[in-house]
Structure 1
Amino acid sequence: MRAEAWVLYRAGTDGRSPESPGELRLEEVELPELGPLDVLTEPLYGCWEANMTHALERKPIDIVAARGEQRVVLGNCGLLRVLRTGRDVTGLREGDVCFLVCGNVLDRWGYVKLVHGYDGPGSMGVLAKRTVVPARLLLPVPRGSRHSLVQWATYARYWTAWSNWRLAYGTWRLQVPGDETPYVVAWGGGVGLAQAELAQIKDGARAAVIASSPSRLALIASKGVHPIDRSTFPGLAYDAARFAEDPGYRRAYRASERRFLAEVRAFTGGHGASIVVDNIGGPVYRASLRALDREGVIATCGWKHGMATEYLRAVECIERHQHIHTHAAARWEVDDAVAFQEEHGWLPEVSSVTPWEDVARLSQAYADGKVDDYFPVFEVNPV
């Protein structure tokens, strides 16, 4: 069986320079045979994830070459409709609409090591009109849900936020009395916004999210989260070499950092943040650490700009700062996350859906920073 799909080729095999970013190409792919524990599905909706852009940019690695393949079909977040099940599959039936649970390879505790539709070898993501998926990676969307399928299609960022918040908040609570209200500051992005909302809804935190566009700042405020305007500290992009060598840059950076820290202090009553959610990395990491209160937690589950970070261990020990790193969510965390989403409406309103034929344009717009929606949903097949 063959299916139409957006594919990404290994660097140097697509007629482009090996140093060039990749591009999506609409082609046909051959589907594998349906095994006894596999399911033939048709994706309905997907959500563009940052790791898909990393794959296209071939940063930090050429994901296609790392998988030992010539071309791959990306897409680790999407809703799939069951078309046919393998003979040994139980609990799923034709017509079920399911989440794609991304854990292609897990460690012994059930945490994700390799992601289906990204770095999991041989896996085919949701950027295909048909795909064969192991039944263990399918979880039915709550039947009779009061939320739309388009809303549910954004689930991956929410599950990632759930896992990261569970560990970050639990760690903070080990050090701080139970009657203390946590202050959470998150750098903008879908996971950061979801985590800020979760902190308020679930654990009574006061949360703020940093963003720069007027539409995003308005959205943050509409959710009862405090917006912090990134444009008021435009020079907050730390570069150690420039800081050491360029006096003008150093002055501009320090002025922006002081402005940022003043915003955080004002929001937290002068104490600093209990938890900073920083999925940006290098350019803002120094400022994130300085924004923390004593016994504070810096939590990350991503690396949008700058994977390598530095800190002074002595300072972090004295301040009793805790550094939390997570990746995706364990399968056993997902059920609780979905139940919480259904009960509390912990889901976004999706403003637009990109048509299938425009997915390549969406990928480029996302890479260029021209997608204002926190959750860029695209259609694969009609519902």
Structure 2
Amino acid sequence: MSKADAWFLYAGDGAGVRGHLVRETIELPALREGEVLAEPLFGCWEANMAHALERVPVDVCRLRGEEKIILGNSGVIRILEVGPGVDGLQPGQNALLYGTYGIMDRHGYPQKILGFDAPGTMGCLATRVKLNQQQVIALPEGTRFSLPQWAAFAVRYVSAWSNWRLAWGTFCLQYEDTSVPVANVWGWGGGTTLAELDLARRFGCRTVMLSGTDAHLREIQRYGITAVDRRPFGSLEYDVTRAERDPAYLARYRAGEQRFLDTVARLTEGDGVQIFVDHIGGPLQRATIKSLGRESVLATAGWKAGKRLWYLRPSACIARQQFIHTHGASRPEGIAAVAYAEANGWLPHVDERIYAFDEIPELVETYFANETGMFPCFSVAV
């Protein structure tokens, strides 16, 4: 039996009030076949953790049928003990918490995520964690990069790798091997989009990311990606019901949308976007689809601001536009992403401040105030 100090989220009462984290002690049972005991070293605050606290779109505790849960699926751990039948891992080894490995389908793709909606799993907001060995990916020995960088890599970069692998493969399938054009790859969103566009840039694509905050625009430029300020376009979140009733709103929207499309035409030399990475969802879809060129791909791995999508099938068919959807990544994809990152330096620049384990509540409030960078990290056992 091992004890751990942890931050818990309790189930809500249905009132829709944002939850808060409670610090308590937990006892972990003995290791079983194929399990490891580890101490988290660093973690990165993820959007899914905020969704859990906000209980949007669901109360994750109630979804799991549990009174309280431990969040946190992006982090770096140190192996303390290995159970029987564990291969390739040993005490003292640093490893990636493979946070997308929760409940998998028969092909190895995640359906539910560790430390989030997968029942019975615990995340890295604890000083000790008990994990299945499949939820661990060993870090390269003597890695050139910092542990906080790897902690921030664990979810968003691995998810970006899987989404890009499918988006790029789908795009290339539409051409003969010798005639694949240089793709204009655009995106809006947060850290996963930034990771995916940085990967696209390394594949030789022309990349553009849109943002409406000065800090994020500076961060985007730091990665060698063209940053476009979306504020001059106004709100591109199209409300079809309001548009039907409010002519002034519709006129404002159309003017902003045209400014956006004029910018797309200018930066793509009239070709439109070949791969659009949209992890936001429904409200922006009208503008996103209008920006696409022929033989293009709309790629998504999220639904932050809208779960329902619409499109005109005849137009998509005639233009040969492909829509792809991914969620997390398979374990082989995670291993491949780590190897590529170590070899090519494809990792995030993390926030300068690393929050201590005692400061997790402060990190939460800072995050909700939109005062952190894209990759806010915290320490646990160091």
Pick the TM interval, shorter chain. over 0.9
- 1:26 corresponds in structure 2 to 23
Shift of 1:71: 0.4
Do the aligned partners of 2:273 and 2:292 also contact (CA within 8 Å) in 1?
Answer: yes
Q: In structure 2, how many angstroms separate the alpha carbons of the residues matched to 1:45 and 1:276?
A: 32
Partner of 1:140: 138
Paired residues in the alignment total: 376
Matches within 5 A, 1:1-383: 1-12=2-13, 18-102=15-99, 103-155=101-153, 156-177=155-176, 178-201=179-202, 203-350=203-350, 351-371=352-372, 373-382=373-382
Whole-angstrom distance in 2 between the partners of 1:32 and 1:113? 26
Deviation at 1:107, TM superposition (A): 1.0
Using the alignment, how far apart are the partners of 1:312 and 1:377 within structure 2? 42
CA distance in 1, matches of 2:319, 2:15: 46
Report the more deviating stretch, 313-322 or 163-172.
Answer: 313-322
Closer, same or farther: CA 222–370 of 1 in aligned 2, 3 Å:
closer
Measure how far apart 1:136 and its partner are.
2.0
Q: CA separation in 2, counterparts of 1:172 and 1:78? A: 32
Judge conservation of contact 1:294–1:320 (CA < 8 Å) in 2. Answer: yes
The separation in 1 between residues aligned to 2:379 and 2:241, in whole angstroms, is 44
Contact 1:81 1:98 in 2 (8 A): yes
Give the conservation status (yes or no) of the 8 Å contact 2:349–2:375: no
The answer (yes or no) to whether the contact 2:137–2:335 under 8 Å persists in 1 is: no
How many angstroms apart in 2 are the aligned matches of 1:213 and 1:293? Answer: 27
Amino acid across the alignment from 1:352: R
Distance 2:374 2:69 in 1: 25
CA drift of 1:243 comes to: 1.4
Question: How far 1:360 sits from its partner (Å)?
Answer: 2.2
* Cα distance in 1 for residues equivalent to 2:358 and 2:241: 43
1:223 Cα offset (Å): 2.1
SS in structure 2 at match of 1:210: strand
Q: 1:81 to 1:303 in 2, by over 3 A?
A: same
Superposed CA deviations along residues 294-318 of structure 1, whole A, max 9, x for unmatched, are: 1111000011111112212222222
Identity rate, percent: 44
SS at match of 2:102: strand
Deviations along 1:321-343, whole A, 9 cap, x unmatched? 11110001111112221111011
**Secondary structure of the residue that 1:89 maps to in structure 2?**
coil
Shift of 1:358: 2.0
Does the 8 A contact of 1:176 with 1:295 survive in 2? no
Give the TM-score normalised by the residue count of structure 2: 0.95
Deviates more, 1:29-38 or 1:70-79: 29-38
- Report Cα offsets for 1:237-269 as digits up to 9, x if no partner: 211111111222212211111111111111111
Q: Which runs of 5+ in 1 are unaligned?
A: none
